[in-house]
C-alpha cells in the first residue's frame, strides 16, 4: 500500500474545501446563466431563483447525475495509469478543482457565461499532460465534449426557435390570447414535466434502490406530467383576471416559466454538479480504498456539499452572469425566456440521460440566440455573443494551463 503525503483526514478535508470552491464557481457561473432567462425576463426574482435552484439542482444531481459523474471521473483519462502513483493522482485532482474554480471566479467576476464542464475537462487534460504526456489523454472523449461547442447550442437554438414559433402561432397571435394561454400553456408544462419524469424514472430511481419496468416508468411519467399540467391549468384559471390586467399574456408565460425554471435547475444539476463532485469523489475513493479501481457509489454527503457550494456561488456572485444572459444578448420577455429554457432543459436532460457531459451554458446561450432570431434578429447584441464565444474557446486551454501551474505549486508545497 502506498503511503499518502498527508494524513487521509487532512487530504479529505482539503479535497472537500476545493470541491466546495469548484461548486461555488458552478453556482456563480452555470446556475446563474441557467436562471438568467427567468430573472432577466422578470418572471422570477433573484430570491425565488435561488430557492428553486437549491431544491431542483440537488434533486437533479442526486437522481440523475451518476452517468455524467462517471464520465468526468474516468472518461478523460484512464485512472489505471496512476495505479502506482496515487499521490500524484490526488494532487492532480486537487489541482484540477483549484484551476477550474479559479477560472470560474475570473469569468463570473467579468460576467462571462463560460462552461464549467469544459473548465474541469480542460483542467484534467492539463494534469494528464504534465504527468503522463500527450498520448495519455483520451482525445476522442475530449473531442466529443468539445464538439458540444457547436452541437449543443445548435440543437437548443433550433428547438427554442420552433418552440417560440409554436407559442406565437397558438397563443401570442390568437384573437383571444387569454383563452389561448389557458388552453395551451398547460400542454407545454405537461411536455416539460414528462421529459424530466422520464429521466428520473429511467436513471434516477436506481440510486434510491427502485427498479421499474417500462410500463411502470410510463405510468409514472404520465402521472407526473398530468399533475404538473393540471396544477399549471389551475394556476392560470385562478389568475385569469391577473393575466388580463397585469402585463397581459406575458404574465401567463411568467407562470409557465416557474415550471421551466424548475426543469432547467434539475437539468443543470443532473449534468453539471458532476463537475465539482467527480474529481472530489475520485479523491475520496482513492483515499478510502488506497486503490484506483474502486467503484463505490458516491456518498450523498458529497452531493450535499456540491449543492451547498452551488447555492452559495449563486447568491454571492451569480448576479453578474445573470445580467449578461438575461439582458445583454437580447431583450427577453417571459414567452421568449420560456422557449429558451424549455429547449435548453430538454437538450441537457437528454444529454445527461446518455451520459454525455455537454455544457448547460452553451445550450442555454444557443436557446437565447434561437429565440432572439425568432423574435427579432436586429435586437440581438452580436458583440456580446462574440465575447461569449471567445470565452468558450479559451476555457479548455486556460483550464489546462492553470492546472499545470497549480500542480507544480502543490507538489512543492506538499513535497510530493
Q: Rounded CA gap, 35 and 48, in Å?
A: 10
**What pLDDT shows up at residue 65?**
59
Which parts of 71-210 are beta strand (E)?
A: none
pLDDT at 69 over 70: no
Cell numbers found for residue 298: 458516491
* 2 within a domain of the structure (yes/no): no
**What pLDDT shows up at residue 330?**
76
Q: How many domains does the chain have?
A: 1
In this structure, how many other beta carbons lie within 10 angstroms of the beta carbon of residue 64?
27
Nearest-CA neighbor of 117 among 128, 98, 136, 104? 104
Q: Rounded CA gap, 122 and 276, in Å?
A: 13
Q: Rounded CA gap, 380 and 54, in Å?
A: 31
pLDDT band at 187 (very low <50, low <70, confident <90, very high): very high
Domain range holding 374? 8-414
* 275 within a domain of the structure (yes/no): yes
* 3 within a domain of the structure (yes/no): no
**What pLDDT shows up at residue 335?**
85
- Phi first, then psi: give them for residue 175, nearest 5 degrees: -65, -45
Opening angle at CA 66, ends 197 and 202, nearest 5: 30
Determine the average pLDDT of the residues in 43-64: 79
- Phi first, then psi: give them for residue 44, nearest 5 degrees: -130, 150
* 90 within a domain of the structure (yes/no): yes
pLDDT at 1 over 60: no
* 266 within a domain of the structure (yes/no): yes
From 82-96, 210-224, 258-272, 301-315, the region with the lowest mean pLDDT: 258-272
Q: Rounded CA gap, 213 and 5, in Å?
A: 48
pLDDT at 273 over 60: yes
Nearest-CA neighbor of 142 among 72, 44, 217? 72
Q: Check if the beta carbon of residue 371 is closer than 8 Å to that of residue 329.
A: no
pLDDT at 15 over 90: yes
DSSP secondary structure of 260-323: HHHHHHHHHHHHHTHHHHHHHHHHHHHHHHS-S---PPPPHHHHHHHHHHHHHHHHHHHHHHHH
Determine the average pLDDT of the residues in 17-25: 93
Note the pLDDT tens digit of each residue in 339-378: 888 888 788 777 767 766 677 778 888 888 888 888 776 7
Note the pLDDT tens digit of each residue in 113-157: 888 878 888 998 999 999 999 988 888 878 877 777 788 888 889
pLDDT at 4 over 70: yes
Determine the average pLDDT of the residues in 393-402: 92
Note the pLDDT tens digit of each residue in 200-236: 777 655 555 667 888 888 998 899 999 999 998 998 8
* 1 within a domain of the structure (yes/no): no
Going 72 to 76 to 79 to 85, the CA torsion angle's sign is: negative
pLDDT band at 66 (very low <50, low <70, confident <90, very high): low
* 241 within a domain of the structure (yes/no): yes
Q: Rounded CA gap, 390 and 42, in Å?
A: 28
Nearest-CA neighbor of 65 among 351, 296, 260, 313? 351
From 159-163, 279-283, 290-294, the region with the lowest mean pLDDT: 290-294
Q: Give counts: helices (H), strands (E), the chain.
A: 17, 0
pLDDT at 70 over 60: no
Nearest-CA neighbor of 399 among 25, 15, 98? 98
* 40 within a domain of the structure (yes/no): yes
Task: Work out the percent of the chain whose per-residue pLDDT is above 70.
Answer: 88
Amino acid at each position: 500500500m502506498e503511503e499518502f503525503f498527508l494524513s487521509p483526514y487532512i487530504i479529505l478535508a482539503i479535497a472537500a474545501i476545493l470541491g466546495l470552491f469548484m461548486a461555488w464557481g458552478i453556482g456563480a457561473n452555470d446556475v446563474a446563466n441557467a436562471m438568467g432567462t427567468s430573472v432577466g425576463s422578470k418572471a422570477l426574482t433573484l430570491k425565488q431563483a435561488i430557492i428553486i435552484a437549491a431544491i431542483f439542482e440537488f434533486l437533479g444531481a442526486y437522481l440523475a447525475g451518476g452517468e455524467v459523474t462517471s464520465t468526468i471521473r474516468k472518461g478523460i483519462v484512464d485512472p489505471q495509469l496512476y495505479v502506482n502513483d496515487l499521490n500524484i493522482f490526488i494532487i492532480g485532482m486537487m489541482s484540477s478543482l483549484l484551476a477550474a474554480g479559479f477560472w470560474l471566479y475570473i469569468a463570473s467576476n467579468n460576467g462571462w457565461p463560460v462552461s464549467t464542464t469544459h473548465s474541469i475537462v480542460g483542467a484534467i487534460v492539463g494534469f494528464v499532460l504534465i504527468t503522463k504526456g500527450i498520448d495519455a489523454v483520451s482525445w476522442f472523449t475530449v473531442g466529443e465534449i468539445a464538439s458540444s461547442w457547436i452541437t449543443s447550442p445548435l440543437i437548443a437554438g433550433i428547438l427554442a426557435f420552433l418552440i417560440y414559433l409554436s407559442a406565437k402561432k397558438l397563443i401570442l397571435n390568437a384573437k383571444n390570447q387569454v383563452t389561448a394561454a389557458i388552453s395551451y400553456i398547460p400542454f407545454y408544462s405537461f411536455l416539460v414535466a414528462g421529459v424530466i419524469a422520464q429521466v428520473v424514472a429511467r436513471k434516477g430511481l436506481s440510486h434510491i434502490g427502485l427498479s421499474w419496468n417500462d410500463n411502470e416508468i410510463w405510468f409514472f411519467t404520465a402521472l407526473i406530467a398530468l399533475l404538473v399540467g393540471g396544477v399549471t391549468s389551475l394556476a392560470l384559471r385562478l389568475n385569469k383576471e391577473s393575466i388580463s390586467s397585469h402585463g397581459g399574456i406575458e404574465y401567463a408565460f411568467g407562470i409557465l416559466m416557474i415550471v421551466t425554471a424548475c426543469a432547467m435547475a434539475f437539468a443543470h444539476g443532473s449534468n453539471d454538479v458532476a463537475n465539482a463532485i467527480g474529481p472530489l469523489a475520485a479523491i475520496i475513493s482513492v483515499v478510502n480504498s488506497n486503490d484506483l479501481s474502486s467503484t463505490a457509489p458516491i456518498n450523498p454527503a458529497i452531493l450535499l456539499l456540491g449543492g451547498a457550494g452551488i447555492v452559495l456561488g449563486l447568491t454571492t456572485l451569480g448576479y453578474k452572469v445573470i445580467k449578461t444572459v438575461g439582458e445583454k444578448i437580447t431583450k427577453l420577455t417571459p414567452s421568449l425566456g420560456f422557449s429558451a429554457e424549455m429547449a435548453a432543459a430538454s437538450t441537457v436532460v437528454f444529454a445527461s440521460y446518455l451520459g454525455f457531459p455537454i455544457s448547460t451554458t452553451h445550450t442555454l446561450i444557443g436557446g437565447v440566440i434561437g429565440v432572439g432570431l425568432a423574435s427579432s434578429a436586429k435586437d440581438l447584441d452580436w458583440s456580446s455573443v462574440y465575447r461569449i464565444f471567445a470565452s468558450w474557446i479559451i476555457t479548455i486551454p486556460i483550464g489546462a494551463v492553470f492546472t499545470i501551474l497549480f500542480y507544480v505549486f502543490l507538489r512543492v508545497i506538499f513535497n510530493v
